[in-house]
Structure 1
Amino acid sequence: MTARPGRVVTLTLNPALDLTVRADGWQRGQVNAGQDLHQTAGGKGVNVASILADWSRADRDRAGQGETLSVTATGLLGQDNAAPFEALLRDKGVVDAFVRVNGATRVGIKLVDGAAQETTDINLPGLSATPDTLTELGAVLTRLCADADVVVLAGSLPPGVPADHYATLTAGLRCAGVFVALDTSGPALTAALAAPVLPDLIKPNIHELEAALGRPLTSDTGILAAARTLLERGARIVAVSQGERGALIVTDAGAVFARPPRVTVVSTVGAGDAMVAGLVSAHLSGLSLKGAARRATAFSAGTITRLGPHLPAPAELADLTAQVEVTPA
């Protein structure tokens, strides 16, 4: 189904410039040979925006008609190393509405072992938000969200931003009738899930959900019960990703487990962000629960076959979608 026209805004308060080093078979404490170095602008909301732009462009080309989706990315961006972010957004056709701040955006180092298909992350500290920059960003958000269909709140919170920031934004946006998707972790997720008003779409991984709820979820039954509790409190879609095992996706229409096809993993960076993008695009397309599960899982599987937040070509994506196994949960 072709997506209806829509406007998506992604918010990334703590973006990262990702440096990915491929060093097959690297060993801790040893001198290791690297095979490749790749730099890409990242951060959860940036990744979601990039992937949605890929999907929109492919959908537009396939349908042979006008633009189907407008994607805008905003947040806080260090002006000292903004160029890679500006280039990515420009190349993807994403509207750049980031607020520039003094200093450099944080750097994340990814050590990729292709032989073991493992990625080790080293995240360096980044910028701190000031009251003035948050005020400026608040004005930008108010303007952008006035006619947005979906707002994606994604990623960690930098120093200077209170833990309940996403919860506060969610309450205001949902009151205005905007569909809110949340993908975060730690105190920000804990605060969001404890708030009176929950996001429409919540996409934690299993470990993030356990930490936010303060208890282990050791069985599929327990995970399903936790997701349904969130639905009862106002969420519309809860997707709990569990790595290569797949994802549990729950709505009022039911619950399914989506298992991805086997692919050659280049980097797992952005896999969860791709799932969020898939679920958002499925919402805009009006897909069924099973259709949404297939699309989101295929987006995730396709993204990990390459470096950076990019979807594979439409034919490859269609093949991956067909291979996703969706079963009742």
Structure 2
Amino acid sequence: MIYTITLNPTIDRLLYLGGKLTKEKNNRLDRIAYDLGGKGHHGSYAMSKLGVENQALGFCGTTNKRKLEKILEEKGINHDLVEVYGKPTRESYVLLEKDVSGSILITEKGYAVSNYDKSLLFDKIEEKVEAEDTVLIAGSMPPGFEIEDLEKLINLLNKIGCFIACDLSGEALKAAVKAGINFIKPNRFEILEIAEQGRSLLDTVKELTKTIDYVIVSQGGAGSLCGHKNEFYQITPPVVVVKNDTGAGDCFVGSFLASLTQQKTFAEALTMATACSASKVQHDDSTTFSVKDAQNLQEKVILEKL
């Protein structure tokens, strides 16, 4: 079983512009749509699409709870969220310009969680998670959830003995690595915050894999540099037409962890995750990808052993 933990969830409000975003002009919208936001929720969607059992944990605000739950249900995501009373789940605004590749993302900060909210989440995790499970902690932390709380969460999971994956950044990433985890996916800038200065990127990955089972460094359109034990790869994704890159990295993480639970090799998990991500960016919402398309794209992923 895989559990995803989204501490600071969001609802993506997709704003489809009729043209290019221009200052000092009335920019008209063609349409508005809603989709899942939050790295953990995106990961859960990818896992569910690949047929891997998972459950989304974390927080949700009560004032717009039904709005978030409706999207989760439409996406087929099993969930059990701690309600933060009297607060709305934040929204992220994804601007998509007509005939322009990619997107612009603007996010709200989110509500503050109390000690009571945190204790409910920790109790739920302790009750559910077992040693043979995988747990993904992904995304930003809400106001009120401090680094000490993250350390407490990881220590709890380490005590249980499960596989811990973290898709975090900044001080949260540093704390997670120090606490002891099994998977990280920083970008090429974030990895410099947790590595010894002066090393090459490959040497940095080699050093980190001495204490972290899986290290994947995102290099944007250039692919990923990946390490596990004594296996190191440069992954180059296939060339596709990008409509919306929001959620592509989260799709990679969810697909990679799903592939590991399906007993895929490290190389197979990497190529499948890269292919799922490549399929995702061809869609104009925050989550959708095609498994069939990904299977075809997988053959076009370039895997170079280092």
Question: Normalising by structure 2, what TM-score?
Answer: 0.92
Partner of 1:87: 70
Give the Cα–Cα distance (whole angstroms) in 2 for the partners of residues 191 and 72 of structure 1: 25
Task: Trace 1:1-329 onto structure 2 (pairs within 5 A).
Answer: 7-23=1-17, 24-56=19-51, 69-102=52-85, 103-146=87-130, 149-193=133-177, 195=178, 197-213=179-195, 222-232=200-210, 234-306=211-283, 307-312=285-290, 314-329=291-306
CA RMSD of aligned residues (A): 1.9
Instruction: Give the superposition deviation at 1:207.
Output: 2.5
* Aligned residue number for residue 63 of structure 1: none
CA separation in 2, counterparts of 1:236 and 1:29?
A: 50
Query: What residue number does 1:64 align with?
Result: none
Aligned residues: 303
Unmatched 5+ residue regions in structure 2? Answer: none
Query: Residues 165 and 223 of structure 1: is their aligned pair in 2 closer, same or farther, counting only changes over 3 Å?
Result: farther
Describe the SS at the equivalent of 1:127.
coil
Q: Distance in 2 between matches of 1:159 and 1:85?
A: 20
The alpha-carbon deviation at position 282 of structure 1 amounts to 2.0
Amino acid at match of 1:183: D
CA drift at 1:147: 5.9
Task: Give the whole-Å Cα distance in 2 for the aligned partners of 1:229 and 1:114.
Answer: 44
| Percent identity between the two aligned chains | 26
- Deviation per CA, 1:124-166: give whole Å up to 9, x if none: 1211010010011111111121365110001100111112433
Give the Cα–Cα distance (whole angstroms) in 2 for the partners of residues 210 and 30 of structure 1: 40
Partners of 1:83 and 1:30 in 2: CA distance = 35
Verify the 8 A CA contact 2:7 2:142 in the aligned structure 1. Answer: yes
| 1:186-225 per-position Cα deviation (integer Å, ceiling 9, x unaligned) | 22112222x1x4211111122322345586x8xxx72222
Measured at CA, do residues 147 and 255 of structure 1 come closer, stay the same or move farther in structure 2, by a change above 3 Å?
closer
Change (3 A) 1:130 1:279: same
User: Structure 2: how far apart are the matches of 1:322 and 1:268?
Assistant: 21
- The alignment partner of 2:209 has SS state of helix
Q: Residue 32 of structure 1 aligns to a residue in which SS?
A: coil
Large movers: runs of 4+ above 3 Å: 164-168, 211-215
The residue type equivalent to 1:227 in the other structure is V
Which sits farther off after the overlay, 27-36 or 42-51? 27-36
The residue type paired with residue 37 of structure 1 is I
1:44-87, Cα deviation, whole Å (9 max, x unpaired): 1111111111111xxxxxxxxxxxx3211111101111223212
Partners of 1:19 and 1:208 lie apart in 2 by: 27
Q: Post-superposition shift, 1:243?
A: 1.2
| Structure 1 residues 120 and 93: alpha-carbon distance in aligned structure 2, compared to 1, 3 A threshold | closer
**Cα drift, residue 39 of structure 1:** 1.0
